[in-house]
Amino acid sequence: MWKNYLKIAYRNLRRQWGYSLINIGGLAVGMALAILIGLWIYDELSFNKYHKNYHRIARVMQNQTFDGEVVTWGSQAVQLGPELRNSYGSNFEHVVISSFTRSPILTFGEKALAKTGNFMEADAPGMLSLKMLKGTHAGLKDPYTILLSESTAKAFFGDSDPVGEILKMDSRLDVKVTGVYEDLPHNSTFKDLNFIAPWDLMVKSENLEERVGWGNSWFQAFVQVAENVDMAQASLAIKEAKQHNVGDEDKRFNPELFLHPMAKWHLYSQFENGISVGGKITFVWLFGIIGGFVLLLACINFMNLSTARSEKRAKEVGIRKVVGSFRSQLINQFFGESLVVTALAFALSILLVQLALPWFNEVADKQMTVLWTSPLFWLTGIGFTFFTGLVAGSYPAFYLSAFRPIKVLKSTFRTGRFGSIPRKALVVVQFTVSITLIIGTIIVFQQIQHAKNRPVGYDRKGLITIPIKTEEIRNHYEAFRNDLLASGTIAEAALSESTIINTGVTNSGFEWKGKDPNMQDEIVTGGVNHEFGKTVGWKIKEGRDFSRDFATDSSGFILNETAVKYMGLENPIGETVKAFGGNYTIIGVVEDIVTQSLYQPVRQTIFYIDTFNRIKFINIKINPQVSAGKAIAEIESIFKKHHPATPFEYQFADEEFAAKFLNEERIGRLAGFFAILAVFISCLGLFGLASFVAEQRTKEIGIRKILGASVATLWGMLSSDFVVLVMISCFIAIPVSYFYLNGWLLQYEYRIGIAWWVFVVAGAGALAIAVLTVSFQSIRAALANPVESLRSE
């Protein structure tokens, strides 16, 4: 019998190939999208699980209070490492102080490459459970050593054994390779750890012991709690570790330490007023809900189309019963056909996922693969397929198989006046989800564009930055700049501590006339040289710019407008500010420039002539009369003239600016993709319902045509019901989307308002798509020959 069931299922699919293609294709698209979202969620939830001691590793964070607002930092003082080991050592198996990720130039022979990595204490390889391919975890015991990732070792040494080879770092430090570890996966916080150099090497080479104290939070601290210690208890124990060691000046900021577990680094990285308020976990929930809804839409379509076509098989059921078929056999027949269709849809969905993964990975910044060897993946997929097949096949299996043959064959069978209500309700659900996604996509892109169009206070066009990787570059800067200016390729060049797009250095302890003695100040600071303002094109509002003509500018400040308001200065020019152990005079006020988040207000910022040797970047303004391609080639040529052994690295300010929107744009593109698929699947559902209605009202349409009804009248009659359904969806989707999107926008201080026309456009677009979808079936039914519809009574 099962062979016979399969044969009949195949014949029905082949005979109604158009509907079969829509049915299988729609379900397959929904399944494929659900699988893609499922893989994305799995990747997010498995972040950092590569590390064996994942649940016992934590980052030491700190809260500090500035004017009543608690600010959370992930940076720490270098002295914290010894303090944790000496005073709280029983709580921790490992304590590791680390630099932030750097990209020095590593050189071996004629090959010089910039590689990202960290300077870390010797316990780091063991704490991170690195899989050593050569050497051991103890490879960082000697200060002049280095561990390389597998890909970095291959880049320098090919298939040769690198252990024992000498690399030069930034043309000044010789380090011996003592080990090679397996590349860390893309879903690890340390994915860019292409090398690990000893922490002691950084301490010695940069003279950190004399330069930094408890007040310099410039580094990272990681710990691995002991097996018998609770993470929360260890966190509470170290709360006052910094407060007990800082001076009175820093005590007033009430620094409090706490442990942020590795399990929460990726998804719970956002803090407000010292409290964790989530982070990317929001997108995990959002995409999970979207995936569930899109899959639901696909299942609704599948059931609608199955129902619409199964009504035509009422006479088949009657004939089968007349010739002796049992109801159980009919139930098995319909369930078998439904399971065949869902199985085909699942197989097709796997193919679609495999084809879409490269694009999806690029958009989502992932390196996901289909979990071919995962039993959970297959159990979930097959289980869902079986469940969908049973649910979709339940209507024809139990409802149609219960028909009395005599009623069906005498055409006295009716589905009832309320038979279509469930289907209509499902269509309302489909379009509610689709319209909500359309509105969400529009709002996300509007917010991104709003931030992009924000006045930034400087000119990004033709502005590039070159990182200073070696002392050689720093020492030959003036000659390099003079050659560039002589070539006519550039308009100006300048030095800075940070790029104009990302100024992340803050300081406190400033004193000025009229300052509240109890004020806990925090000000962004940027070390520059005299030509910086001219290079970036900032606008002086009061006073003047830095100038080499004034030797006193080495102790001068330029404030942005927000800093003037923050300090309460009515006439700032000429005022004296105590800072950095000396007195500085305010010589100018510059128009606010956006140097940090484009979604937040401009922060109070002070610029000064760097005399502390903190310069890290060369900023170059390309001559507007010279093409970018020609200018870069000329700049590289001059750079190589002065630094032949150093790789030429640069970045356009426009590119760095665009990078600030990557996360939002990624979410927007994915949401847009989901919205398109949701609309497509919803239209398939509408097509199925239109097909069903046309089938049910075939004789009514024939009679109306004979009585003189026009095609336009019949089209309006058949389409009106669907227009009402979409309108109902709009009325539901608009308040729902407004509520959630308004909440999402509240996280940005610099944000758009939600305009009324967004809802009109989304609703009108959904309505137009729905009408076009329904029109195919409506016009087809209206154009049908009434004789054909009335001849079999």
Q: Looking at the domain assignment, is residue 722 inside a domain?
A: yes
Q: Are residues 216 and 275 in the same domain?
A: no
Alpha-carbon span 247 to 231, nearest angstrom: 28
Higher pLDDT, 786 or 208: 208
The tokens for 378 are 């297959």
Q: How much is the average pLDDT of 696-712?
A: 73
Alpha-carbon span 278 to 264, nearest angstrom: 9
Q: Is the pLDDT of residue 704 over 50?
A: yes
Q: Are residues 83 and 113 in the same domain?
A: yes
What burial class does residue 26 get, using C-beta atoms within 10 Å of its C-beta: 0-12 exposed, 13-18 middle, 19+ buried? Answer: buried
Q: What percentage of the chain reaches a pLDDT higher than 90?
A: 40
Q: Looking at the domain assignment, is residue 433 inside a domain?
A: yes
Tell me the three state secondary structure of residue 527. Answer: strand
Q: Looking at the domain assignment, is residue 354 inside a domain?
A: no
Per-residue pLDDT tens over the stretch 651-663: 998 888 887 777 7
The type of residue at 553 is: D
241, 265, 289 - which closes a domain? 265
Q: To which H or E segment does residue 763 belong? A: helix 756-783
Q: Looking at the domain assignment, is residue 454 inside a domain?
A: no
Cβ atoms of residues 738 and 418 within 8 Å: no
DSSP letter for each residue of 545-601: ---TT-GGGGGEEEEEHHHHHHHT-SS-TT-EEEETTEEEEEEEEE-----S-TTSP
Give the pLDDT confidence score for residue 560 in this predicted structure: 94
Give the pLDDT confidence score for residue 195 in this predicted structure: 97
Question: Tokens 């796997």, residue?
Answer: 350
Report the chain's mean pLDDT, rounded to a whole number.
85
Q: Are residues 473 and 337 in the same domain?
A: no
Tell me the three state secondary structure of residue 182. Answer: coil
Residue from 614, 630, 523, 624 nearest 567 by CA: 523
Alpha-carbon span 34 to 26, nearest angstrom: 12
Q: How much is the average pLDDT of 668-674?
A: 80
- Residue-range definition of the domain harbouring residue 685: 414-445+658-793
How far from 196 is each of 181, 224, 438, 590, CA to CA, in Å?
10, 18, 46, 41
Give the pLDDT confidence score for residue 385 in this predicted structure: 83
Alpha-carbon span 361 to 730, nearest angstrom: 33
Cα 288 to chain centroid distance, Å, stands at 15
Per-residue pLDDT tens over the stretch 24-39: 887 888 888 888 888 9
Cα 363 to chain centroid distance, Å, stands at 9
Q: Are residues 669 and 540 in the same domain?
A: no
Q: Are residues 594 and 476 in the same domain?
A: yes
Give the pLDDT confidence score for residue 4 in this predicted structure: 64
Q: Are residues 277 and 418 in the same domain?
A: no
Per-residue pLDDT tens over the stretch 210-238: 778 888 888 999 999 999 899 999 999 99
Strands 556-560 vs 582-590: parallel, antiparallel or unpaired: parallel
Domains: count for the chain: 4
Per-residue pLDDT tens over the stretch 186-215: 999 999 999 999 999 999 888 888 778 888
Provide the pLDDT confidence category of residue 315 given band limits of 50, 70 and 90: low
Alpha-carbon span 26 to 367, nearest angstrom: 27
Q: Looking at the domain assignment, is residue 365 inside a domain?
A: no
Per-residue pLDDT tens over the stretch 411-433: 555 555 445 676 677 778 878 88
Q: How much is the average pLDDT of 727-734?
A: 90
Q: How much is the average pLDDT of 115-126?
A: 95
Higher pLDDT, 275 or 790: 275
Question: Tokens 């910044």, residue?
Answer: 365
Q: Is the pLDDT of residue 638 over 50?
A: yes
Per-residue pLDDT tens over the stretch 479-509: 999 999 999 999 999 999 998 888 878 888 8
Q: Looking at the domain assignment, is residue 407 inside a domain?
A: yes
Q: Are residues 633 and 763 in the same domain?
A: no
Give the pLDDT confidence score for residue 251 in this predicted structure: 82
657, 673, 693 - which closes a domain? 657
Q: Are residues 406 and 494 in the same domain?
A: no
607, 634, 657 - which closes a domain? 657
Question: Tokens 């040529």, residue?
Answer: 637
Q: Looking at the domain assignment, is residue 8 inside a domain?
A: yes
Residues listed for the chain = 793
Residue from 526, 510, 528 nearest 605 by CA: 526
Q: Are residues 406 and 420 in the same domain?
A: no
Q: Are residues 500 and 433 in the same domain?
A: no
Q: Are residues 652 and 793 in the same domain?
A: no
The tokens for 6 are 């399969």
Give the pLDDT confidence score for residue 793 in this predicted structure: 47
Estimate the crossing angle of helix 327-364 against helix 375-394, to 10 degrees: 130
Alpha-carbon span 446 to 745, nearest angstrom: 11
Q: Looking at the domain assignment, is residue 362 inside a domain?
A: no
The tokens for 533 are 């303002």
The tokens for 546 are 């830095």
Q: Are residues 422 and 403 in the same domain?
A: no
